[in-house]
Amino acid sequence: MVISEMHGEKGSMGSPTGGRKGNIGDVGPSGRKGEVGEKGAIGVKGPNGNRGVDGEKGTKGEMGQAGIVGITGSRGSKGENGFHGLNGEHGEKGIKGEKGIMGNKGPVGNTGQRGARGQTGEKGQPGESGRTITCGSGWEQFMRSCYYFQFRSKKTWDAAKNDCHRMGGFLVKIDNTIESWFLKNFRTVEKNTGHVWIGAHDSVQESRFIWESDNTVLTYTDWNPGEPNNAGRQEDCVHMNNNNGYKWNDIKCSHVFSYICEKH
């Protein structure tokens, strides 16, 4: 704030004898500008200014990192049923089944009524003398033969044959299904027979199998499917295969197996 000087000029002097006091003079000219005063107190805050103009749009940012794999969604609904397939081709005819085992012997019938007395017949020829089989210890009788089941000692085919001969018999000759069925039942006597030698062989002529007891060609046979095959061209002796229901296989004679002897 400027402070101005406010006093006027001095009036003219009065007479020495003393006159009256003169009139008040005119107002003098303005004084010199005063010195700068002290800084005043901070004024009150003014009102907010107007909003500025919007800036220009920024450029597009860089792509962010891939997000975490989401949780597996729920199972979809069942698809529609497919079309019915075409009918298959007619199958081949099956293999003919094996002949069944003979049934058990029936019970003894009732005694018949006594017949009327017959007429006296002609005199007959003298009959043959009857024969009762006595098999001996260790032998089992079936029909008209005796059999020796040797399951404890295993031998080559030749040694087994010799043992049967020593006991008055031969390696078993199997003539028919009934005899075969009886022999296969030895499992009820002995469970762990292993393979079992029988008397058939083709060591005289390849593929011509004969029985060692009488050198006759086999009529009844019970080969395992695919046998005899003379595997390795050195299979001349026949055994009952305990892995295949005791069906027959040709094999090397040098194997050591159980064996069955037969005698009449």
The residues of the shown chain that bind ligand BGC, judged by CB under 6 A, are 227, 229, 231, 235, 249, 251
Nearest approach in angstroms of CB 201 to ligand BGC is 13
145 lies in the binding site for Ca ion (CB under 5 A): no
Written as one string, the DSSP assignment of the chain is: -PPPP---PPPPPPPTTT-PPPPPPPPPPP-PPPPP----PPPPPPPP-PPPPP-PPPPPPPP-PPPPPPPPPPPPPPPPP-PPPPPPPPPPPPPPPPPPPPPPPPPPPPPPPPPPPPPP-PPPPPPPPP------TT-EEETTEEEEEEEEEEE-HHHHHHHHHHTT-EE----SHHHHHHHHGGGGT-S---SEEEEEE-SSSTT--EETTT-PBP-S--BPTT----GGG---EEEEETTTTTEEEEE-TTS-EEEEEEE-
250 lies in the binding site for Ca ion (CB under 5 A): yes
Partner from ligand BGC, Ca ion, none contacting 212, C-beta within 5 to 8 A by type: none
Question: Which lies closer to Ca ion via its Cβ, residue 222 or residue 262?
Answer: 222
Question: Which lies closer to ligand BGC via its Cβ, residue 146 or residue 251?
Answer: 251
Question: Which lies closer to ligand BGC via its Cβ, residue 146 or residue 237?
Answer: 237
Partner from Ca ion, ligand BGC, none contacting 243, C-beta within 5 to 8 A by type: none
Nearest approach in angstroms of CB 207 to Ca ion is 12
Nearest approach in angstroms of CB 174 to ligand BGC is 19
Partner from ligand BGC, Ca ion, none contacting 213, C-beta within 5 to 8 A by type: none
Task: Fill in the per-residue mask, 197 to 236: x = in contact with Ca ion (CB under 5 A), - = not in contact.
Answer: ------------------------------x-x-x---x-
Nearest approach in angstroms of CB 249 to Ca ion is 5
141 lies in the binding site for Ca ion (CB under 5 A): no
**Judged by CB under 5 A, which of 213, 249, 259, 263 binds Ca ion?**
249
Beta-strand relationship, 257-263 and 196-201: parallel
Q: Are the C-beta atoms of residues 176 and 143 closer than 8 Å to each other?
A: no
Nearest approach in angstroms of CB 206 to ligand BGC is 15
262 lies in the binding site for Ca ion (CB under 5 A): no
Nearest approach in angstroms of CB 248 to ligand BGC is 10
Provide the CB-side half-sphere exposure for 116 (13 A, CA).
2
Q: Which stretch binds Ca ion (CB under 5 A): 15-23, 105-113, 186-194, 243-251?
A: 243-251
147: closest CA among 118, 185, 191?
185
Task: Report the interface residues with Ca ion, using CB under 5 A.
Answer: 227, 229, 231, 235, 249-250
